[in-house]
Amino acid sequence: MHTDAIRALKRCDPTLARIIRRVGSCRLKPGRGYFAALCEAIISQQLSTKVAAVLCDRFRGLFPRKAPTPAAVLALSDADMRGVGLSRQKSAYLRDLARHFADGQVPSRRLGRMTDDEIIAVLTRVKGIGVWTVQMFLIFVMDRPDVLPVADLGLRKAVQQHYRLVDLPTAEALTALAEPWRPYRSVATWYLWQSLNNQPLKKRRSR
């Protein structure tokens, strides 16, 4: 997968070329279930990977075939939410997400045809979802090829290390450095994360 992206990135950036050779094949691939993925992103916020996995599994267990739907989430009681370990705030965020899907404010059937910026604009209207969370959704669930999460600490640390910067790069500096990576900045970002031997950020805490 991502053969064209890998070829282009190796050609345009010698530093990335070295990282790609060391890491090997890119394992990014599309996810499934937009609503469920966003539920899990909200649940995982500010939690360790292990705790988040436990809570997400308990939450999925509330639904037939472990598949949450907007209507089913809206039907949950406060006791249901507390019973799987969700705070009042996260319960409110999940209900707000479900309402946005249920009433069409998040047009789930059209998301695949929308631009990255349009998706960010729509999803950040949901309580508890910020730009970084949507960018992770774009990369790991929607498999969008050209996302650059300039606020991500892991990416900034990797760039500082591999490009021998004195300080962590600012958003502006990172954007400028990544310009040659277009239209494959998601793939470049994934390789830089892997270069630090981090778990993919979809398995790390959200913010």
Token pair for residue 141? Answer: 């669930």
Per-residue model confidence as pLDDT tens digits over 139-172: 999 999 999 999 999 999 999 999 999 999 999 9
Q: 96 and 42 in one domain?
A: yes
The CATH number covering residue 161 comes to: 1.10.1670.40
Residue 164 lies in domain: 3-29+146-201
Residue 21 and residue 80 in one domain: no
How many beta carbons lie within 10 A of that of residue 62, not counting itself? 16
Distance CA 23, CA 12 (A): 18
Mean pLDDT of 122-131: 97
- Strand segments, DSSP code E, in the chain are none
Nearest to 23 by CA among 54, 53, 48, 2: 2
In a domain, 123, yes or no: yes
Contact 206, 133 (CB under 8 A): yes
Last residue of a domain, one of 140, 166, 191: 140
Q: Which of 92, 108, 140 is the last residue of a domain?
A: 140
- State mean pLDDT over 47-59: 95
Give me the number of domains the chain comprises: 2
23 and 39 in one domain? no
- Which of 18-32, 86-100, 113-127 has the weakest average pLDDT? 18-32
206 part of a folded domain? no
